[in-house]
Structure 1
Amino acid sequence: MKVRIDWTYKSPKNKVVQFLSEELDANEALMVAQDLERTGRTKRLQFADRHNSNWSVKELKNYVKEVETEPHDVIAYYDGGFDRHSKRAGLGCAVYFKQNGKDYRLRKNALINEIDSNNEAEYAALSMAVQEIEFLGVHHLPVRLIGDSRTLVNQMSGEWAVPEETLARWADRIDQRLEKIGIHPEYEFVPRKENAEADRLATQALGEIMIESLIDLNADN
């Protein structure tokens, strides 16, 4: 989880100044906060997350301790490929996460039928990524969901409406699943070249090359 340090400083002459840091990982923010408290000039110190929730030092320490044994710091890349002749879609997702001090990567693809457009394939790929996140046991955490469809990102972020009924149904199902497991989605758009892994998985699915793997990234070092 990313947080900002909200620090209120009190000078020797009782002048009070408030500082708000840039975003830091929760563990890093706690270490910086400890250094700030050692100055003896701390009037108030708390943390603010991306959802405008405030955390005390004790609350953030407890949070970090609790999530360490569960999948956290989750980033999911997704992509959908569409074959207009067969009306089939290849779906791909790559999910990166941390657990028990280790880094993991889950890769998954799938081939589905009766898809009507490339936009629908993108929604189906996002839905699969969210499903895999749920299967991992991720819950009540922020999750970054990264794709190369600007339309989907803007629609799921609420910036654009979803006029097509088919896509609206996909969006509703995705929102319901995220709400069920308490995930706070952070939708991000990237150019296709930065989504190459998910794109390749989707292409392999269209070629009926199926991939499903979970690896410890630290074991490769």
Structure 2
Amino acid sequence: MEVRIEWIYRVPKGMETVFRSEEMPAAQAMLFVEDMERTGRVKDVTFIDRFDSSWTVKELKGYLKGIETEPHNIRVYFDGGYDRATSRSGLGCVIYYEQNGKSYRLRRNEFAANLISNNEAEYAALYLSLQELELLSVHHLPVRFIGDSQVVINHLSEEWPVIEKDLSSWADRIESKMKDLGIQPEYELVSRKLNAEADRLATQALNGIEITGTKEMTAD
């Protein structure tokens, strides 16, 4: 979860002013606040998340403690590929998350034969990622979904209306699954270059190469 810090700073002569930080991961924000509080000049600290909800220091500490052993700080890259000549599709997703103080990357792809367009394949790839999140027991957390499909990202972020019946059905399935899991989605549109890992997985699925695996990510 990303948050901003808002706090009142008091100088020795009694004057006060309000400061606001940039957005940062909640755990990092807590470290800053704990350090600032040692000065004895900080009061009324509040954390603001991306949904404009306010958190006290006690509430955020409880949240961070509660998610320590569960997957959190989750980023999902997804991509779908469609071969018009064969009417075959490949789906790919990459999920980055943290758990028990470690960072992980999950990769998964899947072949699909019953889709009719590239846009539908993109939706199916996002749905595949939701199924993986469910297997990870991800629930009631913010999740950032990152893809290069303007159609999917703009539909689900409600920038564009969903007109096509087939795509509307996928959007409904995805929103229903997110509601069941309590996921608070954030959407980010990126270039195909920045979505290369998921794109490669989708292509491998089209070529009959199945990829499923989780790897711990370590610093180089």
Shorter chain as denominator, the TM-score bin is over 0.9
Gaps of 5+ in 2: none
- Paired position in structure 2 for 1:196: 196
**Letter aligned with residue 90 of structure 2:** G
1:1-221 aligned at under 5 Å gives the runs 1-218=1-218
Gaps of 5+ in 1: none
Larger CA deviation: 32-41 vs 89-98: 32-41
| Distance in structure 1 (CA, Å) of the matches to 2:58 and 2:145 | 29
CA shift in 2, pair 1:89/1:48, >3 Å: same
Taking only the aligned residue pairs, the percentage that are identical comes to: 54
SS at match of 1:80: strand
Cα distance, 1:47 vs structure 2: 0.6
| Distance in structure 1 (CA, Å) of the matches to 2:44 and 2:16 | 10
CA-to-aligned-CA distance 1:114-165 (integer Å, 9 cap, x gap): 2111111100101101111111111111111111111211111011101101
CA-to-aligned-CA distance 1:42-87 (integer Å, 9 cap, x gap): 2311111111111111111111111110001111111000011222
SS at match of 2:133: helix
Please, what TM-score do these two structures have when normalized by structure 2?
A: 0.95
Number of positions where the alignment pairs a residue of Structure 1 with one of Structure 2: 220
Cα distance, 1:216 vs structure 2: 1.6
Please, what TM-score do these two structures have when normalized by structure 1?
A: 0.95
SS at match of 1:4: strand
Cα distance, 1:15 vs structure 2: 3.2
| Distance in structure 2 (CA, Å) of the matches to 1:48 and 1:217 | 29
| Distance in structure 2 (CA, Å) of the matches to 1:144 and 1:34 | 27
**Letter aligned with residue 86 of structure 2:** S
| Distance in structure 2 (CA, Å) of the matches to 1:19 and 1:165 | 48
Backbone CA RMSD of aligned residues: 1.4
**Letter aligned with residue 196 of structure 1:** A
Cα distance, 1:13 vs structure 2: 4.2
